[in-house]
Structure 1
Amino acid sequence: MSEKSTARCLMCSKSYLNLSRHLKSVHKMQNLTERGIIVKWATGHINIRTCPCPVPGCTYKPGHHLDRHVLQTHTELSAEMRAEVMSLARTLKAIQLLAELRASMSNPPMVSNFDQQDTKLDVMAGQAEEQAGPSSQQETCCSVQCMDILKGYKKEMDRLVQSKMELEDRLAELQHSLSILKRLVASLKRQLSEGSHA
């Protein structure tokens, strides 16, 4: 029997062998659906096969193999950057699922607030939201307690935005390098052609 691996709790950043039990007993997360989403998100098992591609400027239309698309099509990105893209896609999908669960007025009440997105994350996830289609809008809570809770997730949101910006910069650099290489290849071909006719 294979040894169980630990998973980091997204609520308290500690690692546990049985994350579901931890969420239920420590964080009082009684909503089974919410707990399932959080566990799959933490373990990287969120299904993103039909999600849009988060790579800036990519025109990929959501199909059935986002993972294959990122790994096989975006060869201009390093393996580390492709892994970051996949992580971003899982985060956006998990937040979408949590938002849909909250809009359904699921019972027991939700404990997590990951779907309480700020403007930066809304912009970054725009393509994913378009794919999800129209959904019922819940009135925004402006209480001091909710605002304090929301501040606790801003670091993660800012990290995702920063990651997106770095991907855009890296993509621009690679496109520039590719353009230079194409010109060099064209120049070499002309030189070889002129030499063969001399």
Structure 2
Amino acid sequence: MCIDPKIWIRKDEEHFSIEQVLDRIISISDDAFDFWQSPRGWAPDSAANLLEIARLDWLKDLTYCLKIWLNRQSPLIQGEILLARTNLGTLVEGWLKLFYCVYYEDYMNDEEAFRKKSGKLIDPNKIKFEGLKDFSNGKLWGKDDDWFKWVDDIQDKRNAIHAFNHRDIGNELDLHKDIRKFYDFILLINGRLPYPY
């Protein structure tokens, strides 16, 4: 299931405002989540069973919630950045789960698929962020390439919501950079999902 990590970005998008980037994120997410919420007849039954119970509607809502962090008075306070990081990290994790649920048949047959000590398969919708990130290394992107580092950073900043001690969550400009990179990320994932068109 190793996939070429190359992604295709149109040159005109390099100059989009953060609001334009978010509009694209929302558009792609709406279409993807709506399609995969009811995939029976297109996806194998095993994948459809997972996707039909997935809360893709929540991921859709959380995608719209990214607008909250662009419409707040600038500069964002640390609490807002922390909540925005949680929002973004949950979406990254959700897109990874979506990918492996869609490709559930491939996942089931992968020697590195997660299993309990008993040998029973752990479905991708139940894998923690850390496991999804590590499993994707060499499959969804190249071994230890920039995607791994970015997802690792997103996970670390998302997990700051649980921290009592200091963690670097960046500032508002860092958040905007990560939202732009998230756009590239969903292009990477969505571009590798099988659609009937």
The alignment's TM-score, normalised by the length of structure 2, stands at: 0.31
Higher helix share: 2
Which of the pair has the greater relative contact order for Cα pairs under 8 Å at 6+ separation?
2
Name which one, 1 or 2, has greater alpha-carbon Rg: 1
